[in-house]
Structure 1
Amino acid sequence: MTSKLLLVDDEEGIRTVLGISLADRGYSVLTAADGQEAFNVFRREAPPIVLTDIKMPGMDGIELLQRIKAECPDTEVIMITGHGDLDLAIKSIQLEATDFVTKPIHDAVLDIALGRAQERIALRQQLREHTENLERLVREKSARIVELERLAAIDQAMEGLAQAMRGIASDMGDALRYFNEMPCFVSIHDKNLIVVAANDLYRTRLGKGVGDFSWMVYIHTDTDPESCPVGKTFQAGAGQRERTEMLLADGATTPVIVHTAPIRDREGMLELVLEIAVDISEVKRLQDELDTTQQRYRQLFEEAPCYITVQDRSLSIVAANRRFQSDFGEPGEQRCFYAYKRRSEPCPNCPVQETFLDGKPHQSEMVVTSRNGDQLILLVGTAPIVNASGDIHQVMELATNVTQIRNLEDHLSKLGLLLSTVSHGVKGMLTALDGGIYRIRSGLRREDTTLVQEGLSDVEDVSSRIRNTVLDILFYAKEREIEPELVDVMNVLYDAVQLIEPKMAKHPLQRRWEFDPTVGTAWMDRSAIRTALVAILENAVEACLEDSTKSEHRIRFFATRKGNELVFEIEDNGIGMDPETVERIFSLFFSSKGKRGTGLGLFIAKKIIQQHRGRIEVHSEKGVGTTFRLILPANKAQA
Structure 2
Amino acid sequence: MTLYSFRVDDKLNLIAHEGDGAAFSELPLGVPYYEYYPRLGYKSVDAVAYAIEHGEPLSLAGYRLFCFHREKCTADIEIIPQFAGECRCCGAMIAVDIRSGCSVLGEMENAQALVDIGKISVTLAHGVRNPLNAIKGAVVYLKDKYGTDATFGEFAGIIDDEIHKLDNFITMFLSTSYLDARCEEIQLNDLLERVANLVTLQAQACQVLFKVEYGDLPVIRLDSFNIGHAILNVVNNALGAMESGGMLTLRSRREQDGEAEVAVVEIADTGPGIDYRGTKNIGGFPAAGCRKLGRGYGLFITGEIIRHHRGKLEIIGNPHGGTTVRIVLPVIPPGEMTQGE
Q: TM-score range by the shorter chain?
A: 0.5 to 0.7
TM-score normalised by structure 1 residue count: 0.34
Instruction: Write the distance in 2 (CA, Å) between the matches of 1:633 and 1:309.
Output: 48
Instruction: Write the distance in 2 (CA, Å) between the matches of 1:551 and 1:607.
Output: 29
Question: Match of 1:362, SS?
Answer: strand
Are 1:556 and 2:293 an aligned pair? no
Change (3 A) 1:628 1:377: same
Are 1:460 and 2:158 an aligned pair? yes
Q: Which residue of 1 aligns with 2:268?
A: 572
Q: Which letter maps to 1:464? A: E
Instruction: Write the distance in 2 (CA, Å) between the matches of 1:505 and 1:433.
Output: 22
Instruction: Write the distance in 1 (CA, Å) between the matches of 2:126 and 2:183.
Output: 33
Instruction: Write the distance in 2 (CA, Å) between the matches of 1:312 and 1:472.
Output: 56
Q: Which letter maps to 1:138? A: P
Change (3 A) 1:500 1:510: same
Alignment size in residue pairs: 283
Change (3 A) 1:553 1:336: closer
Q: Which residue of 2 aligns with 1:514?
A: 215
Q: Which residue of 1 aligns with 2:232?
A: 538
> Residues 618 and 627 of structure 1 are in contact (CA less than 8 Å); yes or no, is this contact kept in structure 2?
yes
> Residues 568 and 630 of structure 1 are in contact (CA less than 8 Å); yes or no, is this contact kept in structure 2?
yes
Q: Which residue of 2 aligns with 1:137?
A: 31
Instruction: Write the distance in 1 (CA, Å) between the matches of 2:115 and 2:229.
Output: 25
Q: Which residue of 1 aligns with 2:79?
A: 355
Change (3 A) 1:428 1:554: same
Are 1:474 and 2:168 an aligned pair? no
**Structure whose residues are more often strand by fraction:** 2
Q: Which residue of 1 aligns with 2:105?
A: 377
Q: Which letter maps to 2:95? A: H
Instruction: Write the distance in 1 (CA, Å) between the matches of 2:295 and 2:159.
Output: 16
Q: Which residue of 1 aligns with 2:59?
A: none
Instruction: Write the distance in 1 (CA, Å) between the matches of 2:177 and 2:298.
Output: 15
> Residues 612 and 632 of structure 1 are in contact (CA less than 8 Å); yes or no, is this contact kept in structure 2?
yes
Instruction: Write the distance in 2 (CA, Å) between the matches of 1:607 and 1:425.
Output: 22
Instruction: Write the distance in 1 (CA, Å) between the matches of 2:257 and 2:181.
Output: 23
Deviation at 1:137, TM superposition (A): 1.6
Q: Which letter maps to 2:322? A: G
Deviation at 1:478, TM superposition (A): 2.4
Q: Which letter maps to 1:571? A: I
Q: Which letter maps to 1:615? A: K
Change (3 A) 1:309 1:553: same
Instruction: Write the distance in 1 (CA, Å) between the matches of 2:304 and 2:163.
Output: 21
**Structure whose residues are more often helix by fraction:** 1
Change (3 A) 1:471 1:620: farther
Q: Which letter maps to 1:434? A: G
Question: Match of 1:478, SS?
Answer: coil
Deviation at 1:361, TM superposition (A): 0.9
The equivalences for 1:61-76 within 5 A come to none
Change (3 A) 1:472 1:130: same
Change (3 A) 1:538 1:316: closer
Deviation at 1:311, TM superposition (A): 5.3
Instruction: Write the distance in 2 (CA, Å) between the matches of 1:501 and 1:571.
Output: 12
Question: Where do 5+ consecutive residues of structure 2 fail to align?
Answer: 5-17, 43-61, 83-91, 205-209
Q: Which residue of 2 aligns with 1:201?
A: none
Are 1:440 and 2:134 an aligned pair? no
Percent sequence identity over aligned pairs? 12
Cα distance per residue 1:586-625 (max 9 Å; x no partner) = 558x9x897xx99776444322332354432223469943
Change (3 A) 1:431 1:458: farther
Cα distance per residue 1:242-279 (max 9 Å; x no partner) = xxxxxxxxxxxxxxxxxxxxxxxxxxxxxxxxxxxxxx
Question: Match of 2:94, SS?
Answer: coil
Are 1:429 and 2:323 an aligned pair? no
Cα distance per residue 1:516-546 (max 9 Å; x no partner) = x6xx68xx8x223x44542343234434544
Residue 618 (structure 1) aligned to one of 315, 331, 338: 315
> Residues 429 and 462 of structure 1 are in contact (CA less than 8 Å); yes or no, is this contact kept in structure 2?
no
Instruction: Write the distance in 2 (CA, Å) between the matches of 1:598 and 1:466.
Output: 27
> Residues 269 and 323 of structure 2 are in contact (CA less than 8 Å); yes or no, is this contact kept in structure 1?
yes
The equivalences for 1:141-540 within 5 A come to 309-310=38-39, 312=41, 315-317=63-65, 324=70, 328=71, 336-337=73-74, 350-352=75-77, 354-355=78-79, 360-364=93-97, 370=103, 376-377=104-105, 407=111, 413-443=116-146, 449-450=148-149, 453-454=151-152, 457-458=155-156, 460-461=158-159, 463-465=161-163, 467-468=165-166, 470-471=168-169, 474=172, 477-478=176-177, 492-504=187-199, 506=201, 509-515=210-216, 526-528=221-223, 530-531=224-225, 533-540=227-234
Q: Which letter maps to 1:433? A: K
Instruction: Write the distance in 1 (CA, Å) between the matches of 2:100 and 2:180.
Output: 27
TM-score normalised by structure 2 residue count: 0.57
Higher relative contact order (CA 8 A, sep 6+): 2
> Residues 73 and 101 of structure 2 are in contact (CA less than 8 Å); yes or no, is this contact kept in structure 1?
no
Deviation at 1:362, TM superposition (A): 0.4
Question: Where do 5+ consecutive residues of structure 1 fail to align?
Answer: 1-68, 75-121, 142-296, 302-307, 329-334, 338-349, 371-375, 379-400
Q: Which has the larger radius of gyration?
A: 1
